[in-house]
Amino acid sequence: MRNLRLMMKEQTPLYIFVAVLFLVGVVFGALIVSALTMDQQQELGDYLGNFFVTVDQQGLPGAQESFWNIAALHLKWVGLIWILGLSVIGLPGILILDFLKGVLIGFTVGCLVSQYSWHGLLFALVSVAPHNLVLIPVLLVTSAAAIAFSLLMIRSRVLGRTRTPVTRPFAMYTLLSLGMALLILGVASFETWVTPVMMRWVTPMLV
């Protein structure tokens, strides 16, 4: 555990870098909303309207089914980052995933605010924000660890500057990723059983 904490402390600059990249993605995603044409905004408004009516009248899918779908989606994201960190050519892919995650969140919140003003912001606060307060740090920590391991592989195997064994760093990298995966299961549980309740509270304001 001490070595793991030391590794995370050493990766602080990478945390800052991926966090800034993610925030740039959020801003970019929000700007995309303002760039939509009137027809696209109308189609988006119709889709959201139908979604809110469905949630208000029928609720959301069963909890058990939703849990595994949500958990699988988040775990695939973490797993992909872990795999990309193992390869030298995967480094750009990690950066793209972090940026893309920011774009998706920025676009989602931007759409809600654009269509429903402060009611949309309120819905975003109960449906998007809570679980992402844990999910985003999990993804950023995993990404920083993946970037660090990928850079180690570049220095050790490609550039040949060091001959440091990668077994220990790999084990620590994998252990960290597994820990983040366990947190993902907690996030999926919250998103499955708590988030829908809060969404049902706010949805009547949007119908």
Q: Looking at residue 163, what is its pLDDT?
A: 60
User: Residue 33: which residues within 8 A CB-CB, separation 6 or more?
Assistant: 107, 110, 111, 114
Tell me how far apart the alpha carbons of residues 21 and 99 are, in angstroms, rounded to a whole number: 6
Tokens of 102: 């920011």
User: Averaged in consecutive runs of 10 residues, what is the pLDDT profile of the chain (207 residues)?
Assistant: 69 91 96 90 89 78 77 94 88 94 95 91 92 94 93 74 73 92 93 88 82
d(CA 155, CA 171): 18
- Containing H/E element for 163? none
User: Is the pTM here over 0.85, yes or no?
Assistant: yes
pLDDT value, residue 174: 92
Predicted pLDDT at 154:
82
Q: What's the helix, strand, coil split of the chain in %, to 5?
A: 90, 0, 10
